[in-house]
Chains A and B, each alone.
Chain A
Amino acid sequence: MLQPGNKAPNFTLYVSPDQEISLYNYKGKRVVLVFYPADWSPVCGDQLMLYNEITDVFDKMNTQVLGISVDGKWCHASFREQRNLSFPLLADFEPKGSVARMYGVYNEQVGESERALFVLDENSIIQWSFLSEPQINPGADGILEALEKLERVI
């Protein structure tokens, strides 16, 4: 798993059925990368709902949340619509899990990403990372604490 202090590697993934985005498009913003095992699973749903509830808090901190799983772009589109999610979900679908592998959070045995969080600063340097148990919703406290630390530095 990539550790704080490292530059977050760039990647380009589908964010909707007809649009791709790159991590470095968000330069100048802080980014929270939320790797999670799968759309529709109960814990992921709770975790993403929580981040969705506080998008205004993230906005105030100049922060973009990006969800990433190995699910395909159509699956993400349907999941986002059903859960009314306002932040993007990226499809780490082909080659499967390549971004999760790059960040050291791919679970080969189940063929899904681990449940992992990365907080990047405005220059895409990893400032905080956290690997959660797959069945445990890590909440938002660690993310907020990392972001507040960045606010104090400025």
Chain B
Amino acid sequence: MSLTPPVSSIDHLWGNKDALIELVEYGDFQCPHCGRAFPIVKRLKEAMKDSVKFIFRNFPISKIHPQAKDAAVAAEAGGLQNKFWEMHDLIFEHQKRLNHISLIEYATIARLDVPRFNEDMKQENLFKKVEKDFMGGLKSGVNATPTFFINGLRYEGSWEENNLFEYLQNLEISVKEI
């Protein structure tokens, strides 16, 4: 199962864009599994920051997570002020509180221009971008969240505990040998 569309400049990319390993997560800010994956991913991307670039795409399942789409738009609105990752992290760290007031609180902590953030939260474009991520995920075979793609291919193993970290470390060794 391969990633469609491939990573491009419209994606949010963390780390070294020339890194040999590309890790893409399709996630839902209100999904408890994604909440559990958040510190795991954070730790591994920092530990492997020279060799891994990390991309987050939205896959909100709105009918069971009614606040997920707004949270996704809030992170995108943060992105308009170059603070996507700050918002991404704050939202996952507080994923039990995702109402509008809480999102503004996180925007304040991230030192966003809050009136502008509030306006951007209404932008049709940002909702469309989130929906586009979702459709791309569906076509790439995302069936639940989180789903990871490594160098364009769906990662079928477990992401829990050290599994994803170890997989990427082994991959790093083999990529460097080539």
Contact = CB atoms under 8 A, between A and B. Distances in A.
B72 interface: no
Interface of A: 46-47, 49-50, 52-54, 57, 83-84, 137-141, 144-145
B63 A144 contact: no
A38 B10 CA distance: 40
A46 B143 contact: yes
A140 B142 CA distance: 8
A141 B1 contact: yes
Given A49-B64, A53-B61, A137 B144 contact: yes
A62 B62 CA distance: 22
Interface string B132-154: 00010011111110000000000
A49 B64 CA distance: 8
A141 B139 contact: yes
Residue of B1, B61, B143 contacting most chain A CB atoms (<10 Å): B143
B138 A144 contact: yes
Interface in B1-32: 1
B75 to A, nearest CB: 19
Contacts of A83: 64
Closest 4 CB pairs of A and B: A139-B143, A137-B143, A141-B141, A46-B144
A53 B62 contact: yes
A139 B141 contact: yes
B139 A50 contact: no
A138 B142 CA distance: 9
A144 B63 CA distance: 20
Q: Of B62, B140, B141, B144, which is in contact with the most chain A CB atoms at under 10 Å from its CB?
A: B144
B139 A144 contact: yes
A47 B143 contact: yes
A84 B138 CA distance: 20
A140 B26 CA distance: 15
Contacts of B135: 57
Given A50-B61, A139-B138, A139-B143, 17 more contacts: A46-B143, A49-B61, A49-B63, A50-B138, A50-B143, A53-B61, A53-B62, A53-B63, A84-B63, A84-B64, A137-B143, A138-B143, A139-B142, A140-B138, A140-B143, A141-B1, A144-B138
A54 B136 CA distance: 13
Nearest to A54: B138
Nearest to A137: B143
A84 B143 CA distance: 18
A149 to B, nearest CB: 13
